Amino acid sequence: GESVGLHLPTLSVQEGDNSIINCAYSNSASDYFIWYKQESGKGPQFIIDIRSNMDKRQGQRVTVLLNKTVKHLSLQIAATQPGDSAVYFCAEKNFNKFYFGSGTKLNVKP
Amino acid sequence: KAGVTQTPRYLIKTRGQQVTLSCSPISGHRSVSWYQQTPGQGLQFLFEYFSETQRNKGNFPGRFSGRQFSNSRSEMNVSTLELGDSALYLCASSLGTNSGELFFGEGSRLTVL
């Protein structure tokens, strides 16, 4: 199967700082990537996506970077807020199937 | 626009029993996928249904099955429950096209005693 992994299981940041969550994927044929946020007791929520023909995409306070050479995906959250505390998953899509990483828990310290 | 609805939200079963979980996708979405989420694990893909047909299947035993109805609503069934089946079962819907962003429900939390 696919291997979508995360470099750090837990990330603690100070409120107001920028956060960077990393993800490695294994299949160079994957053509679509998504970041999800999952708060306790809730289902995953879409944050931002990127296609393989792009290397950067920006949303509101979030930026996703894709480095196809090293098969690496990152999520940058600007001015991290307490409400950003959650588990973040990356996912890659290959042949109409999604493969998810195990998640990084983001703790925002006041 | 209503989101993805899963029922029941919580349930407790004993080993050997069977369970049926239900998912109502977003209106207009024809694809429904099911995932199992356990502590410390990522989301494990179970299967995907599109227009009442199973389009993709993950690596789960035959005790896990599903179906989709003509209105796109989907059910999944787990027979002969084992302790290890305790998990959050998530349903996700999408248009089913290649652009497919997945929209998740809140999940059904199954505890097997």
pLDDT (0 to 100) of residue A67: 96
Mutate to test the interface with B, among A3, A30, A38 (most CBs of B within 10 A): A38
pLDDT (0 to 100) of residue A66: 97
pLDDT (0 to 100) of residue B98: 63
Q: Is the pLDDT of residue A2 over 50?
A: no
Q: Is the pLDDT of residue A92 over 80?
A: yes
Which H helix or E strand runs over A98? Answer: strand A97-100
| Inter-chain touch B102–A34, beta carbons under 8 Å | yes
pLDDT (0 to 100) of residue B38: 86
Counting as low any pLDDT under 50, the low residues of chain B are none
Chain A contact for B48 (CB, 8 A cutoff): yes
Residue A22: closest CA among A110, A99, A107, A101:
A101
Q: Is the pLDDT of residue A16 over 90?
A: yes
Contact, B67 vs B48, CB < 8 A? no
Between positions 13 and 32 of A, the ones with CB within 8 A of B are: 32
pLDDT (0 to 100) of residue A4: 55
Taking residues A81-85, what's their average pLDDT?
Answer: 96
Taking residues A93-98, what's their average pLDDT?
Answer: 82
Contact, B49 vs B55, CB < 8 A? yes
The per-residue pLDDT for range B18-27, each reduced to its tens digit, is 999 999 999 9
Out of A37-46, A77-86, B74-83, pick the least confident. Answer: A37-46
Q: Write the burial class of residue A44 (CB in 10 Å: 0-12 exposed, 13-18 middle, 19+ buried).
A: buried
Contact, A103 vs A7, CB < 8 A? no
